[in-house]
Amino acid sequence: MLNVHKVKQEICEIGDRLYKKGFAAANDGNISYRISEKEVVCTPTLISKGFMKPDDLCIVDMEGKQLSGRRERTSEVMLHLAIMKERPEVKSVVHCHPPHATAFGVAREPVPQCVLPEVEIFLGEVPITKYATPGSREFADTILPFVHKANIIILANHGTVSFAETLEKAYWWTEILDAYCRILLLAKGLGRVNYFSEPEAAALLQLKEKLGFHDPRTEMKNCDICANDVFRESWKETGVEPKAFQPPRFTCTTAAEAAPAEQETLIQAITDRVMAVLR
């Protein structure tokens, strides 16, 4: 039987981590966890995520109606519920404002791929939504074109939203993305970003599938592995355009098409790095 009090404690712990990482200034951000088919625990409005107590949290139904809690539920819970309705396996949603990832949403700059193995394995391509007023139904609906192909989304001029089967994983995706965006900005400041070669990128996709992580690029035909092609059709509506980062364009191939010796070496090296992260 699910221990609701324990869920609330974990939400408070994740909130504390968000606050200490600088991902949620003042009363920014919100967190939720689905405790049944019809009930979701969520954070209240106007409270610092670093100082929450379990009895501060609310319970709402799947339409956003508050069922319990002495504080008013967050106005942005509809975003969380929209994700959970589209992805029933998702139990937890974390929304916050990590500075480096949010900067890409403010600039409407697509986050480049094919730079770090861990990001390729755990995140893949990260979409950017169109802007809508936070808390509105329109705002909640901005994630719908992307929610089935990503586990973290950048909200234009607002922040990020990540989601997973557990609170810990939902938080991880946020931390990985912001660290990656910071690395990209630092590397750009040094003068250049070096991308994987086509065989290296293809080997990562193969390893990702072996580890049980699906990547939409494996379903695409005539795409470019490192060219942010998965969500390219949405760019006109969302205002996204690559200006700061211009990744190389490679035709979609598989790791099996790389030279056998090179393929084996690449996959082993990447596997070692990814398994080290998982441990």
CA distance linking residue 35 with residue 90, whole number of Å: 11
Q: pLDDT confidence of 228, banded at 50, 70, 90? A: very high
Place of tokens 């760019």: 235
Task: Identify the CA nearest to 29 among candidates 174, 165, 168.
Answer: 174
CB 226 within 8 A of CB 250: yes
- Residues of the chain within CATH 3.40.225.10 domain(s) are 4-190
- Give residue 198's pLDDT: 87
Given a cut of 60, whether residue 255 has pLDDT beyond it is no
So what's the pLDDT on residue 222?
Answer: 73
Question: What is the pLDDT, as a whole number, of residue 266?
Answer: 61
pLDDT digits (tens, 9 = 90+) for 1-51: 799 999 999 999 999 999 999 999 999 999 999 999 999 999 999 999 999
Element (H, E) at 40: strand 39-42
Task: Tell me what the pLDDT averaged over the chain comes to.
Answer: 92
> Would you say domain 4-190 falls under CATH 3.40.50.300?
no
| pTM score over 0.75 | yes
What confidence tens digit (pLDDT) does each residue in 140-182 have? 999 999 999 999 999 999 999 999 999 999 999 999 999 999 9
